[in-house]
């Protein structure tokens, strides 16, 4: 019998603080799928329930109630197990061979995806987040291990709290506009990909690291099927869903629009950030996606970003250089690549200054 520290809920295991309708419902769901066991006397965090007692008469009472409330009536195997010196009850059923089992007229199936999406407490899969100054200098650290819908929101809250924000004053009356270090929809999309396409058979934690000018997302599980890194650069690549039920759940809630459009939306969002770059790489045990930049965006349009840099160096330019600078700033047809090149040059002058 497994020790208490190794016992956690999954596709064939359920933990219950006490016996009741919830336990019978879970047994019916196990019977309609692959079978499973319920450990009674342990809460969903894996901790023993204080004051819980059990005897042979208790087991027989539970068996009778399960048989009475299920149709066709199922008779679970029942035993008392001692786990780390604590006595708990164990009810087990195998997959029912004839037809679906109902509980109070309703039918249930056991789904690991449902537990990942809606489970309470620690679902057993971590997202390890941190704010770093260097790869070895950790400023802040946080571990997330709740249900996936909850985890997405907690990921975004943590990143917003850690990132830099610029402010732009516009309009009459004046209006203050927040310009986040990274486009939030792009971060959310990468976070969703990290959770939806994770290989949940792997014990490795998903990881999100925020540095001074880049953020990286690692999730266990490489690209699936025939999908390649080059495919992700195109706008019409064919997606492969490793976890179809999880992907469908996020699709139905509107968190994802359609399969295979995630990286298209990420590229669209970062296009408004002139020096931001998307990198996707397969590394040992998984996939790494990162956003990086050389100059933080401080305005709501591309021109304003170059102006924020050029203002710091304009006083040091000659008259002819100033004329060239003014011509570039007034040229609405300047290309994206040209702007990046110019900003790098201006930034170097600024550093010398």
CATH number of the domain at 263, please.
Answer: 3.30.565.60
86/8 same-domain check = yes
Domain presence at residue 121: no
**CA–CA separation, 188 and 155 (whole Å):** 8
Domain boundary among 110, 142, 174: 110
Six-digit token string for 30 = 């196990």
Query: Domain of 341?
Result: 302-352
**Amino acid 23: pLDDT:** 92
CATH of the domain at 101: 3.30.950.30
Q: How do the pLDDT tens digits run along the chain, 353 residues long?
A: 444 445 777 778 888 999 999 999 999 989 988 889 999 998 877 778 888 888 879 999 999 999 999 999 999 999 998 877 888 999 999 988 876 888 888 877 776 877 788 777 788 889 999 999 998 999 999 999 999 999 999 999 999 999 999 888 877 677 888 899 999 999 999 999 999 999 988 889 999 999 999 999 999 988 887 788 888 888 777 777 788 888 888 888 888 876 667 888 999 999 999 999 999 999 988 999 999 999 999 887 654 444 444 444 444 456 665 655 565 555 433 333 222 322 233 333 333 33
Q: Are 219 and 194 in contact (CB under 8 A)?
A: yes
DSSP string, 36-68: EEEEETB-TTSPBPTT----HHHHHHHHHHHHH
Asked if residue 328 is part of any domain, the answer here is yes
Beta-carbon contacts of residue 296 (< 8 Å; ≥ 6 apart): 164, 166, 181, 213
- Residue 213, burial from CB neighbour count under 10 angstroms (0-12, 13-18, 19+): middle
Same domain, 287 and 308: no
Query: Which token pair is 114?
Result: 């449902």
Distance separating alpha carbons of residues 12 and 14, to the nearest angstrom: 7
Please indicate, yes or no, whether residues 253 and 183 belong to a single structural domain of this protein: yes
* Last residue in a domain, options 62, 84, 110: 110
Token digits for 330? 């007034």
- Say if 118 falls within a structural domain: no
Q: Are residues 131 and 278 in the same domain?
A: yes
Residue 65 within a domain: yes
Domain contains 297: no
Helix (H/G/I), strand (E/B), else coil: 6: helix
Q: Six-digit token pair at 207?
A: 């990881």
Tell me: do 158 and 140 sit in the same domain: yes
Q: Which pLDDT belongs to residue 111? A: 66
Same domain, 227 and 253: yes
pLDDT computed for residue 351 by the predictor: 35
* Inside any domain, residue 37: yes
Give yes or no for a contact between 59 and 75, defined as CB atoms under 8 angstroms apart: no
How many domains, the chain? 3
23 and 100 housed in the same domain: yes
The answer to whether residues 228 and 176 belong to one domain is yes
How, if at all, do strands 175-180 and 206-210 pair? unpaired
Q: Are residues 206 and 345 in the same domain?
A: no
Q: In residues, how long is the chain?
A: 353
- The answer to whether residue 116 sits within a structural domain is no
Q: Which helix or strand (DSSP H or E) is residue 149 part of?
A: helix 148-162
Quick one: which of 302, 320, 322, 301 has its CA closest to 311?
322
Q: What sign does the dihedral 220-224-227-228 (CA atoms) show? A: positive
pLDDT value of position 49 = 85
The pairing of beta strand 165-170 with beta strand 13-16: unpaired
Do 278 and 307 lie in a common domain? no
122 domain-assigned: no
Bridge pairing between strands 106-107 and 175-180: unpaired
Residue 46: left if φ>0, alpha if ψ -120 to 50, beta else—which one? left
Residues 168 and 240 in one domain: yes
Q: Is 114:123 a contact under the CB 8 Å cutoff?
A: no
Final residue of a structural domain among 65, 80, 110: 110
Q: Which residues pair with 104 in a beta bridge?
A: none
Look at residue 308 in the predicted model and tell me its pLDDT: 44
């Amino acid at each position: 019998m497994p020790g208490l520290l190794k016992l956690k809920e999954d596709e064939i295991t359920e933990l219950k603080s006490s016996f009741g309708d919830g336990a019978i419902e879970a047994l019916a769901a196990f019977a309609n799928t692959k079978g499973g066991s319920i450990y009674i006397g342990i809460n969903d965090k894996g901790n023993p329930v204080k004051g819980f007692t059990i005897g042979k008469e208790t087991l027989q009472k539970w068996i009778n109630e399960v048989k009475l409330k299920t149709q066709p009536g199922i008779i679970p195997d029942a035993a008392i197990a001692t786990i780390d010196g604590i006595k708990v009850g164990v009810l087990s059923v195998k997959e029912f061979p004839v037809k679906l089992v109902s509980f109070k007229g309703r039918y249930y199936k056991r789904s690991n995806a449902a537990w990942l999406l809606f489970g309470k407490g620690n679902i057993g899969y971590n997202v390890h987040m941190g704010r770093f100054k260097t790869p070895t200098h950790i400023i802040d650290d946080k571990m997330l291990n709740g249900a996936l819908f909850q985890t997405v929101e907690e990921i975004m809250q943590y990143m917003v709290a850690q990132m830099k924000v610029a402010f732009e004053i516009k309009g009459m009356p004046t209006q203050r506009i927040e310009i986040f270090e990274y486009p939030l929809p792009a971060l959310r999309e990468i976070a969703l990909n990290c959770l939806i396409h994770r290989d949940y058979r792997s014990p490795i934690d998903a990881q999100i690291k925020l540095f001074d000018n880049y953020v990286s997302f690692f999730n266990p599980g490489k690209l699936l099927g025939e999908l390649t890194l080059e495919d992700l650069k195109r706008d019409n690549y064919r997606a492969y869903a490793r976890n179809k039920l999880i992907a469908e759940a996020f699709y139905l809630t509107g968190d994802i629009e359609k399969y295979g459009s995630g990286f298209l939306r990420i590229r669209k969002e970062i296009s408004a950030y002139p020096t931001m770059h998307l990198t996707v790489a397969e590394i040992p045990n998984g996939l790494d996606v990162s956003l990086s930049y050389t100059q933080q965006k401080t305005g709501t349009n591309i021109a304003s970003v170059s102006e924020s840099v050029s203002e710091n160096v304009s006083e040091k330019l000659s008259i002819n250089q100033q004329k060239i600078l003014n011509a570039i700033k007034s040229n609405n047809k300047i290309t994206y690549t040209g702007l990046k090149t110019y900003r790098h040059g201006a930034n170097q002058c600024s550093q010398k200054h």
